[in-house]
């Protein structure tokens, strides 16, 4: 696992964040050192796959990056006749994901199809599980309800959506505290003040976070019967929604 040193370089100082080949090479380290609770989220996605995926259905990992959630689902699905569709719009991520999936030694009958596509254009059919793991936040706000509506419309009854997002708190004081704690977390993981500052600037207007209440309202409008946070660490939240 290569160490993330992207924002030590002066060439990254003014460029907006992009899921390019350089990011793909260090992405596992970037996630581990940047997102508190990320490993636990992936592990729990696997547990949900064992609980909610039903025979003859499909699972979707939308914004799959290097396929961590995809493999967590595959390794825990016990239902027969299932397929996982992993989708990402970044060519570098798709290429590396295909390699990782091909090298996965876990043997079961779950087919994985890795697609290079815009998740807004993917057809969702017979889905018992859909994962949006830190993906929705990168879409234009105006497109988010439409995507959730499409997902809900393509899911089987009782299917589960996992929506993980960086969020902002409705209370401004709590929001400032959460941001401070997140920066402390990154410092403990050996990111410098320069790296933290540069990455935050790079993500400005690229990653647009919203509050938990906004996400829950959208999920209810989309037609999910139940929705609520199930994992939270600082300003990173994973929400479960049941169709």
Average pLDDT over residues 2-23: 86
What domains can be seen in the chain, in order of their start residue? 1-115+124-243 (3.40.50.150)
Buried b (16+ CB within 10 A) or exposed e, 129-163: bbbbbbbbbebeeeebeebbebbbebbbeebbbbb
189-210 confidence digits (pLDDT tens): 999 999 999 999 999 999 999 9
Enter the pTM of the model. Answer: 0.95
Ranges of beta strands (E only) in the chain are 58-62, 83-88, 111-116, 127-133, 155-166, 226-233, 236-242
Give the separation between CA 234 and CA 102, rounded to whole angstroms.
35
61-89 confidence digits (pLDDT tens): 999 999 999 999 999 999 999 999 999 99
pLDDT band at residue 12 under the 50/70/90 scheme: low
Q: What share of the chain in percent tops pLDDT 90?
A: 93
pLDDT band at residue 107 under the 50/70/90 scheme: low
């Amino acid at each position: 696992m290569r160490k993330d040193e992207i924002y030590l370089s002066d060439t990254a100082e003014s460029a907006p964040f992009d899921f390019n080949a350089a990011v793909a090479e260090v992405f596992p380290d970037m996630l581990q050192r940047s997102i508190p609770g990320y490993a636990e989220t992936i592990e729990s996605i696997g547990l949900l796959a064992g609980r909610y995926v039903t025979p003859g259905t499909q699972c979707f990992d939308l914004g799959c990056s290097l396929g961590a959630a995809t493999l967590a689902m595959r390794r825990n699905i016990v239902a027969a006749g299932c397929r996982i569709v992993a989708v990402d719009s970044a060519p570098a991520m798709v290429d590396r994901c295909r390699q990782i999936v091909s090298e996965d030694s876990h043997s079961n009958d779950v087919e994985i199809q890795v697609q290079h596509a815009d998740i807004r254009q993917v057809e969702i059919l017979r889905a018992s599980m859909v994962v949006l793991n830190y993906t929705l936040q990168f879409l234009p706000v105006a497109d988010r309800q439409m995507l959730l509506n499409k997902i809900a419309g393509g899911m089987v009854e009782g299917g589960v959506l996992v929506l993980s997002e960086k969020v902002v708190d409705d209370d401004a004081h709590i929001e400032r505290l959460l941001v401070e704690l997140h920066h402390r977390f990154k410092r403990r993981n050996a990111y410098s003040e320069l790296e933290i500052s540069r990455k935050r600037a790079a993500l400005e207007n690229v990653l647009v976070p919203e509050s938990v209440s906004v996400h829950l309202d959208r999920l209810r409008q989309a037609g999910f019967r139940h929705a609520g946070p199930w994992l939270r660490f600082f300003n990173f939240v994973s929400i479960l929604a049941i169709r």
